Amino acid sequence: STISSFSGKVKNSLISQRKDAPDAATIRELHLDGFPGGPDGFELASRFCYSDGKICISPTNVSLLHCSALFLEMSEEISCCNLLQRTEVFLQGLFYWTWTDILTALRSSEPFISQADSSGLLQKLIDSLLSKICANSDLICSSSSSSSPETPRRSFDVTTKPSFSRAWWFDDLTVLSPYIIEKTTKSMAAYGIDSVTNTKFLIHYLKRALYRQSCSGGGGGPSLEYGGIAEAVVDGVVQMESRCGFSCRWLLRVLRVVSCFGLSEECRSKIERTIGGLLDQASLDDLLVCTPRGGGGSGSGGGSGIYDVSLVLRLVKVFAGGFGEVSDERMKRVGKLIDKYLMEIAPDSRLKVSKFLAVAECLPSTARDCSDGVYRAIDMYLE
């Protein structure tokens, strides 16, 4: 067949079938399970064969053509100027591609990501992407929309100081799949992208995933394929907290985001220990975290009502007992905070008595000069 003159895989399969069934009238079937890109990939490779090796290669189709050529074994041993060599020559100019071209090639690889990864193509594209970021690392996004390195420099604030601002490439990378993002962020350190920027980007990526999910009207929450990124965020935040001095409010916001992506208990415990040690910095609004879907609060036995009471109890436990001796001033500050929290959750008819009492009794007596706040909350609860 025409394809067998370009494909070693097809050629060898046909030879094998002829040996097994020498009768020319025998109907032969060729199974190509796991073809990159499915029918689209096969059609594109076939078009190359039936046009006598003439095809227009672009960033849009080079990933699919390259993986198809590898799958079909379209090497120079089978035919001169075969598809595999053609795609490899095209990819040699990868580091001269535009930012948009690289993103296009990465996105086009997602339907057959395992083949793109195993072939080494995915890492080549990621390296080229990170090289672009590294070459423009002095650019900080100053507007609400993202920009590419090809955008005029007037769109950016140029600074040499370390910044926790959103970098110009943050929004552009949110279109990529979690698998590609995980591989990309693991390579960032080699290109001089610090862990603060890395973690900040991952938080931004998860926020965008939540936003897209809410806009689409989905009710089941984002896919658990984001779980690895959520855990990477927690690890990054915990490691940087001592030198970056994150506020309790900011950490609680991060917790709200990552909690939507199926955190493991171990990972959740890491960030809660960090937040718990700073609980005296929190405000009432910071603690008003809604109960996760499914009810009962994360890691609780149920009965949390509207707000995630179990989370607050765990944070108080960390603050009061996990960080050595706590000063009276800090303890009283948390005591006032918990009294306000009790007043807020008291009207919730779904809150079980056991949960309400657990909050009322979670601090030592030294945390309060008087118990008036607790009594008022009890009156509200009983009403």
- Can you give the length of the chain in residues? 383
Average pLDDT over residues 29-50: 91
Q: Check: CB of residue 210 under 8 Å from CB of residue 222.
A: yes
Pairwise CA distance, residues 108 & 104, whole Å: 6
Mutual orientation of helices 353-360 and 309-321 as an angle, nearest 10°?
Answer: 30
3-state secondary structure of 210: helix
Pairwise CA distance, residues 305 & 309, whole Å: 8
Instruction: Pick the more confident residue, 168 or 14.
Output: 168
Phi and psi at 307, nearest 5°, equal -100, 155
- Cα 321 to its chain centre, rounded Å, is 33
State yes or no: pLDDT of 362 exceeds 90.
yes
Domain ranges within the chain, ordered by starting residue: 1-119, 136-142+163-276, 282-383
Q: Check: CB of residue 120 under 8 Å from CB of residue 75.
A: no
3-state secondary structure of 43: helix
Average pLDDT over residues 371-380: 91
Residue in the structure block whose two tokens are 């390195």: 149
Please tell me the predicted confidence (pLDDT) of residue 15: 81
Element (H, E) at 157: strand 156-158
What pTM was estimated for this model as a whole?
0.84
Secondary structure letter of residue 190 according to DSSP:
G
Average pLDDT over residues 74-78: 92
Nearest to 146, CA basis, from 130, 165, 159: 165
Element (H, E) at 378: helix 372-382
Least-confidence region, from 71-80, 291-300, 307-316: 291-300
The tokens describing 96, both together, are: 């001269």
Residue in the structure block whose two tokens are 């959740």: 268
Instruction: Pick the more confident residue, 116 or 296.
Output: 116
Please tell me the predicted confidence (pLDDT) of residue 224: 80
Pairwise CA distance, residues 291 & 24, whole Å: 69
- If pLDDT is split at 50, 70 and 90, which confidence band does 97 have? very high
Please tell me the predicted confidence (pLDDT) of residue 12: 87
pLDDT digits (tens, 9 = 90+) for 131-166: 999 988 765 444 334 455 554 333 333 233 334 457
Average pLDDT over residues 273-296: 85
